[in-house]
Amino acid sequence: YAVEITEQKALEAQMAQSQKMQAVGQVAGGIAHDFNNVLTAIIGFSDLLLANHRPSDPSFQDIMNIKQNANRAAGLVRQLLAFSRRQTLRPQVLQLSDLLSDITILLTRLLGENVKLEVVHGRDVWPIKADLNQLEQVVINLAVNGRDAMPGGGTMTIRTSNLPAAEVSRFSYRPLPVVDYVLLEVEDTGTGMPPEVQERIFEPFFSTKEVGKGTGLGLSTVYGIVKQTGAHIFLDSELGKGTTFRVFFPRHVPAEGELPAAAAQPQAEIADLTGTANILLVEDEEAVRAFAARALASRGYQVYEAASGVEALDVMEEAGGKIDLVVSDVVMPELDGPSLLRELRKTRPELKIIFVSGYAEEAFKKNLPEGESFRFLPKPFSLKELAIAVKETLGR
């Protein structure tokens, strides 16, 4: 009877935690659009500052840190949104070593002064196919987990290497299909974990941290992303010696005609991002509109601005058919993006459009006519991402 009561209380506690996280997800879903607007402005104005500073300038690295942390905040928004709805995965061909190089500075800051970070890149590491932002989240969460296991400081080693199918038998993990893998190892010299903790470490809400020090979602998020990517994660841990997490990513073998992201368009995307087209920018958030207008004008475009869908229709009429492209927010008062598009199609059926939004693409796609053609740019976006989206859309 006592055991039943204990189990019931544990179940009630887990249910309460589950409901709390569900509420957090609903709140996050509600504020995501506003939060992503703020992050778009921070990232955007950081880009404008970076464009006016040389890498050797003392302030360049400070601005870069602002941008990197804004991008990290954007990742946290995506992590919260995972509780309210399934996030859209955007798999692309990646080099794991390149990703690690891009976030090494951020990881060093996160780990603090007491933890030494060593990144060991394997030679000629094979490509993998995964969502870039989600993969960054995996590395960051594993690194933060390792840092927390070393309260007195220590060394964190992150390694990448190829693991041919013939060598998979070196590991006794199950289930681990015998195929070629790219192996990511995150090793700490921390406190280690007893077997009973290792068994439950990926469970949602399971945490060894003090109350208020963590949600117990960091490693379950990692587990979910790894599984969604088609990869496998295991760990080895010894009390007093430390823990090693190993993520096995299936090697991506490009299909005939498919090239890795970097090779598919060698430097094409950054060759020339200027233009002379007339662009109508529709955005109710003033800071985002100001950044985007400056970014596009600096690339040579003629920019017309509108703060709402209704105002956009007026600007279109005044412009008299001069507009080549519309860049529009989705969620706006009076007339939202999809409704604006329907109105524009009545007089300009061929007009090109880019929708920008802090919500997932699927959230509004169902409100559009079937087969409707548009480009989607998720918020927050950088100056370069905006310029590329505009250039590619105009070129179609």
- pLDDT tens per residue across span 122-148: 999 999 999 888 899 899 999 999 999
Q: Which is more confidently placed, 79 or 96?
A: 96
Mean pLDDT of 235-248: 95
pLDDT band at 168 (very low <50, low <70, confident <90, very high): very high
| Number of Cβ atoms within 10 Å of the Cβ of 217 | 21
Mean pLDDT of 61-87: 75
> ∠ CA 366-370-374 to the nearest 5 degrees?
80
Place of tokens 């964190």: 156
Of 27-41, 308-322, 345-359, least confident by mean pLDDT is 27-41
Give residue-wise pLDDT tens across range 177-236.
999 999 999 999 999 999 888 877 777 556 665 544 454 557 877 887 888 788 999 999
pLDDT of residue 72: 86
> ∠ CA 136-233-105 to the nearest 5 degrees?
25
> Whose CA is closest to 204, among 20, 6, 29?
20
Dihedral (C-alpha) 281, 282, 288, 294: value to the nearest 10 degrees?
Answer: 20
Give residue-wise pLDDT tens across range 319-356.
988 999 999 998 888 898 989 999 999 999 899 999 99
pLDDT band at 259 (very low <50, low <70, confident <90, very high): low
Place of tokens 């459009």: 353
DSSP annotation of 93 reads E
pLDDT of residue 133: 84
pTM recorded for the entire structure: 0.57
Q: Percentages helix, strand, coil for the chain, rounded to the nearest 5?
A: 50, 20, 35
Q: Which is more confidently placed, 27 or 35?
A: 35
Rounded Cα distance between 346 and 214, Å, is: 53
Mean pLDDT of 103-110: 89
96: Cβ contacts below 8 Å, ≥ 6 apart = 125, 128, 135, 160, 182, 184, 249
- State yes or no: pLDDT of 85 exceeds 50: no
- State yes or no: pLDDT of 2 exceeds 90: no
Phi and psi based region of residue 41 (left: phi greater than 0; alpha: psi -120 to 50; beta: remaining): alpha
> Whose CA is closest to 299, among 321, 325, 318?
325
- State yes or no: pLDDT of 272 exceeds 70: yes
Mean pLDDT of 6-35: 62
Percent of the chain with pLDDT over 70: 81
pLDDT of residue 33: 67
DSSP assignment string, 266-286: TTHHHH------EEEEE-S-H
Beta strands in the chain (DSSP E): 91-94, 115-120, 128-131, 154-163, 181-188, 232-238, 242-250, 278-282, 302-306, 325-329, 352-357, 375-378
Q: Which of helix, strand or coil describes residue 190?
A: coil
Mean pLDDT of 93-116: 91
Mean pLDDT of 83-108: 79
Angle between helices 383-394 and 286-298 (to 10 degrees): 60
Work out the burial of residue 116: count CB atoms within 10 Å of its CB; fewer than 13 is exposed, 13-18 middle, 19 or more buried. Answer: middle
pLDDT band at 82 (very low <50, low <70, confident <90, very high): low
Q: Are 106 and 68 in contact (CB under 8 A)?
A: yes
